Chains A and B, each alone.
Chain A
């Protein structure tokens, strides 16, 4: 059997993807069920000249990766719910200061300390609205170990291209599950590095508002000597109280993402053309959905599936198209929480389409049988 085929854990795949994507800095704090990511990167990063540091808490971890990113390193941290809650302060800073960072949240049961070793998808909304203020979040969610690897690389790419934090939402089952993975060949996955300025230092504006809303990013030490702050700032980075500059800054934060939904948003659909019922689920639950859809089709039911790979931002237009499929009568939204994305779906379906919530929050996965039963109830 080929060398590049391995039995790999989801958390290992994050580390593998990070190495492939060019990660050079990881700052983190141990927390179940994400810790394997830190452990593997502690071993691997120094071998390629990268840096690993275990910080004193999650607040410090996200601070350190922001600092490292500003110094020019591709940076990442990994955590789980309670740690993510501590990180949102720093993540908010990274939105405001437009610092490329990747935050992996291996979701576990909550609220609070909750269930360290059990699966949940209850941080879905936190990934969108975790920190205070207005911003557009990017969050990606894989369903398999190999996709975890691929989306880790993609999260790093998106962070660098759009100068923003990107959250990778996995979960306890995916993080600890082992699966056959073909390690990508060198050059198989696209790796994107941040765009550096090519103007003289006196012309450089670290937060320049350009026609395409993408601004080149110098690193500390490159000779540009810019200012970075979490205060609302002008294009040079200096704090401002002028409403015209405030408007420009916050509009830029929005537009730099919303103008590129077609690039950022990945949605997988299957059999939606003639589906009477659709199952909408992300991450590990999408696999139960896929199984249930196969079982339903074996019973000659017309069932489709929608799987958001990019959880945030929502590509409203695309979803509206998908859900306006002519025969569609109902959408089952299956989530490992008490109902979060279901409100997003409700907002995007035509009036005559029923939205049915299928929730599980007893620390176990939603089973294909549960989804199949729901499908049968609709039919």
Chain B
């Protein structure tokens, strides 16, 4: 652990930005650790890494890290990221977003980013609720769960994030949880390496709102529940469908090769310039 902590500290804006805004026990910090370890393992030049985020608890992540960091307006992280990436295709562009940011207000940008297949890694931290504004239901809040704006239970149906991303055309789609940290490190590592649009859903806990409003206990209890409920896709494939029902499937949902947008655009430039 000591060694890991050293790695983490190498990338923090420790003197400037701490303490952070997250509640004690929040899973977002775990995702931040996974992201740092993935970047460190990839030995990326940090001048060539840009983290882009929108608005919400998860979107506060970039400010703590010593990269190029861009904290945008609500839902628009992917749109800003698209501009950064296309203007400078050498840049590793990583978007940190949440379920409300990416799928409600930013839903349009999300599906079109999947479709466009620009080499952007989108880490979507799904805690099933709007945390920063006080626990309103989000596009991933389960049906009948309680939220500040669903006092009688949520009447809507949630998005299945991997299915949404695959349907929209993402090249790499994976889901991990903040309990299964080693796997999450690997999924983010693979997502960054993937040339094309990659979506990594990091399933996380908001014990402060989602947990409290639904009597799910503290962060430890929620992590334990994650441990119990998660089911790797490979294991699920060998199980009867009724046993898979209601489980949180984890692993790589899709990993396909499609020519990347900036590569295609660069080829266009080359051909127009007669090179």
- Taking Cβ atoms with an 8 Å cutoff, the residues of A that contact B are 24-25, 27, 46-47, 49, 51, 53, 55-57, 59-61, 63-73, 75, 89-90, 93, 219-223, 225-231, 236, 238-239
Q: Are A225 and B80 in contact (CB under 8 A)?
A: no
Q: Which of B16, B52, B265 contacts A67 (CB 8 A)?
A: B52
Residues of A within 8 A of B47 (CB): 221-223, 225
The reply to whether the CB of B180 lies closer than 8 angstroms to some CB of chain A is no
Q: Are A46 and B268 in contact (CB under 8 A)?
A: yes
Dominant secondary structure at the B interface: helix
Given known A-B contacts A225-B46, A227-B62, A238-B63, A68 and B83 have beta carbons under 8 A apart: yes
The reply to whether the CB of B66 lies closer than 8 angstroms to some CB of chain A is yes
Q: Are B83 and A71 in contact (CB under 8 A)?
A: yes
Interface string of B24-49 (1 = CB under 8 A from A): 00000000000000000000001110
Find the B residue at minimum CB distance from A223: B47
Q: Please provide the 9 A-B residue pairs with the shortest distance between their CB atoms, ordered closest to farther.
A: A67-B83, A63-B79, A64-B83, A68-B87, A71-B87, A60-B79, A68-B83, A229-B71, A56-B112
Q: Are B80 and A63 in contact (CB under 8 A)?
A: yes
Residues of B within 8 A of A61 (CB): 79
Interface size class of B (residues with CB under 8 A): 35 or more
The reply to whether the CB of B68 lies closer than 8 angstroms to some CB of chain A is yes
Q: Which of B45-88 contact A (CB under 8 A)?
A: 46-48, 50, 52, 62-63, 66-73, 76, 78-88
Dominant secondary structure at the A interface: mixed
The reply to whether the CB of B194 lies closer than 8 angstroms to some CB of chain A is no
9 residue pairs of the A-B complex, CB under 8 angstroms, read: A25-B87, A27-B83, A64-B79, A71-B88, A71-B91, A221-B47, A225-B46, A226-B68, A227-B62
Given known A-B contacts A56-B109, A66-B80, A90-B76, A24 and B87 have beta carbons under 8 A apart: yes
Residues of B within 8 A of A65 (CB): 83
Closest Cβ of chain B to A200, distance in Å, is 14
With the chains together, A24 CA to B63 CA distance in Å?
28
With the chains together, A96 CA to B81 CA distance in Å?
18
Given known A-B contacts A67-B87, A68-B83, A238-B16, A229 and B76 have beta carbons under 8 A apart: no
Residues of B within 8 A of A46 (CB): 265, 268-269, 272
With the chains together, A53 CA to B85 CA distance in Å?
12
Q: Which of B69, B90, B273 has the most CB of A within 10 A?
A: B69
Beyond the given pairs A49-B273, A68-B84, A227-B63, 9 more chain A to chain B contacts, judged by CB atoms under 8 angstroms and listed by A's residue number, are A46-B265, A53-B83, A55-B112, A60-B76, A60-B112, A63-B79, A70-B83, A226-B69, A230-B73
The reply to whether the CB of B108 lies closer than 8 angstroms to some CB of chain A is yes
Residues of B within 8 A of A66 (CB): 72, 80, 83
Closest Cβ of chain B to A201, distance in Å, is 9
Q: Are A227 and B71 in contact (CB under 8 A)?
A: yes
Q: Are B80 and A220 in contact (CB under 8 A)?
A: no
The reply to whether the CB of B234 lies closer than 8 angstroms to some CB of chain A is no
With the chains together, A17 CA to B78 CA distance in Å?
29
Given known A-B contacts A47-B273, A221-B48, A230 and B71 have beta carbons under 8 A apart: yes
The reply to whether the CB of B258 lies closer than 8 angstroms to some CB of chain A is no
The reply to whether the CB of B17 lies closer than 8 angstroms to some CB of chain A is yes
Closest Cβ of chain B to A262, distance in Å, is 33
With the chains together, A223 CA to B66 CA distance in Å?
11
Q: Are A220 and B83 in contact (CB under 8 A)?
A: no
Q: Which of B211-230 contact A (CB under 8 A)?
A: none
Q: Are B63 and A229 in contact (CB under 8 A)?
A: yes
Residues of A within 8 A of B90 (CB): 221
Residues of A within 8 A of B86 (CB): 25, 51, 53, 64, 68
Q: Are B70 and A67 in contact (CB under 8 A)?
A: yes
Residues of A within 8 A of B108 (CB): 56-57, 60
Q: Are B68 and A231 in contact (CB under 8 A)?
A: no
Q: Are B83 and A63 in contact (CB under 8 A)?
A: yes
With the chains together, A204 CA to B126 CA distance in Å?
35
Q: Which of B17, B88, B269, B273 contacts A221 (CB 8 A)?
A: B88
Given known A-B contacts A71-B88, A221-B90, A55 and B71 have beta carbons under 8 A apart: no
Q: Are B71 and A221 in contact (CB under 8 A)?
A: no
Closest Cβ of chain A to B67, distance in Å, is 6
Residues of A within 8 A of B109 (CB): 56, 59-60, 63
Find the B residue at minimum CB distance from A231: B71
With the chains together, A38 CA to B80 CA distance in Å?
19
With the chains together, A99 CA to B71 CA distance in Å?
13
With the chains together, A46 CA to B262 CA distance in Å?
12
Closest Cβ of chain B to A328, distance in Å, is 46
Q: Which of B85-137 contact A (CB under 8 A)?
A: 85-88, 90-91, 108-109, 112
Find the B residue at minimum CB distance from A227: B69
Q: Are B16 and A220 in contact (CB under 8 A)?
A: no
Given known A-B contacts A64-B80, A67-B84, A239 and B63 have beta carbons under 8 A apart: yes
Q: Are B16 and A49 in contact (CB under 8 A)?
A: no
Q: Are B87 and A225 in contact (CB under 8 A)?
A: no
